[in-house]
Amino acid sequence: MNATAPSSVAGKGLARSPGALSGIKVIDLTRVLGGPYCTMILSDHGAEVIKIEPPQGDETRDWGPPFRDSDASYYIGVNRNKRAMSLDIGKPDGRAVLLRLLEGADVLVENFKPGSLEKWGLSYEEVLSDRFPTLIHCRISGFGASGPLGGLPGYDAILQAMTGLMSVNGNADTGPMRLGTAIVDMGTGLYAAIGILMALHERSVSGRGQYLDMTLYDCGLALLHPQAANYFLNGKRPVGTGNVHPNLVPYDKFATKTCEIFIASGNNGQFRRMCELIGRPDLADDPRFADNGKRNVNRDALGAALAKAFAEHDGNELADRLIRNGVPAGPVLPVDQATAAPHTAHRDMVTELNWYKGIGTPIKMSRTPGGTRRPPPRFGQDGAAILAQHGYSDAEIGVLERAGVLHTKRRS
């Protein structure tokens, strides 16, 4: 079970409390990103997460380099604080083990293709809800089970394309571009975690579990702000604007003598202070730039004037001076510099335990802080212990392993 990291353990961003979700048991049948990201959020805050992989394993274990002991960084980055086992639930005995593990479980999270659990006789409506009336079953899929695209598989980049996110990224020169992070997968993981917490809260009132139908398609559309809001109001198709904002000006990246910085001026007061701090107070008095609406219409002229002014400054010094004077600004940092920044360390946003190093939990709680309890598990490393915890004898575990139900080595 997930435990508080002992106070004697050295590391960074470690869990020093049982966590807000201590006592919650999660059976995790997910692979790749959206589901594992969801369950890592829950495990960071004390939920006991049992990650059950198919015999071939979570495919992200192969998504490298870089690797550590044959596990890729892609897998390592979203699977801490979990225990792992491998079951072949395509076999009747595997499904029997799964049902036994679900006894006393609060949450089941899975991302099988819609219809898979039903095919195996594990439908929520017909089986799970009757046998486990308090269970919260969260399914993550590409498009859901019904509708014109129902049952089809979902992949982050394809969903970025189909939900409009790609069309508003990039600019006129590049055309639509994929966001560098898997925003749909991770956004779906976040929405799924929120949905699970809502269902847990509702269960505390009703005493009943429920089914959560989470799709990448829905979550991708839900991230279309402000582009969808703009379109619904003005009827104009949003396009990729690169770094600039479709509504706010100036909101862009500018080169300086030492680095690039980003400016996000949201009101007239901020704009005036920015102009004063870069040595161009006259721009704030120019009628073409009197308010955000006028600055938007005249964004090209303003951008040219600002680019010339910023080029004369030290970027890091100027960005710090701007933000400390109420103007949103920051240097454009590469990943190595961002993760090594002093404020990153202050916020415990890089966590370390033994060999493991990752991005820490952004959810900071005063009484029940979460954090790292255990490194990401190797394939099948906890199978025997998990089964023993659920009442299986050594002899029964051996039978399951010899029958190809329980796996300790990945099937190629």
Judge contact between 136 and 163, C-beta under 8 A: no
* Domains (range + CATH), the chain: 11-223+346-407 (3.40.50.10540), 251-255+260-331 (3.30.1540.10)
Neighbour count for residue 365 (Cβ, 10 Å): 12
Tokens of 252: 């862009």
Active site residue 28: no
Point out the residues of the chain with pLDDT beneath 50: none
Backbone dihedral angles phi then psi of residue 253, each to the nearest 5 degrees:
-100, 140
Beta-strand ranges (E) seen in 207-284 are 211-215, 251-255, 260-264
pLDDT attached to residue 6: 56
Q: Mind listing the pLDDT tens digit for each residue in 52-82?
A: 999 999 999 999 999 999 999 999 999 999 9
Q: Nearest-CA neighbor of 400 among 104, 89, 116? A: 89
pLDDT attached to residue 5: 61
Tokens of 208: 């009943």
**What single DSSP character describes residue 368?**
S
Strand partners, 212: 138
Q: Which residue in the block uniquely carries the two structure tokens 């990448």?
A: 216
> Per the residue annotation, which of 28, 88, 156, 185 is the catalytic one?
185
Secondary structure (3-state) at 36: helix
Q: Which residue in the block uniquely carries the two structure tokens 């989470």?
A: 214
pLDDT attached to residue 1: 63
Judge contact between 110 and 35, C-beta under 8 A: yes
Q: Mind listing the pLDDT tens digit for each residue in 282-333?
A: 999 999 999 999 999 999 999 999 999 999 999 999 999 999 999 999 999 9
**CA 298 from centre of chain:** 37
Secondary structure (3-state) at 311: coil
3-state helix, strand, coil in the chain (%, to 5): 40, 15, 45
- Angstrom CA distances, 377 to 160, 303, 349, stand at 30, 50, 21
pLDDT attached to residue 241: 85
pLDDT attached to residue 10: 79
pLDDT attached to residue 246: 85
- Residues 302 and 300: their CA atoms lie apart, in Å, by 5
Secondary structure (3-state) at 25: strand
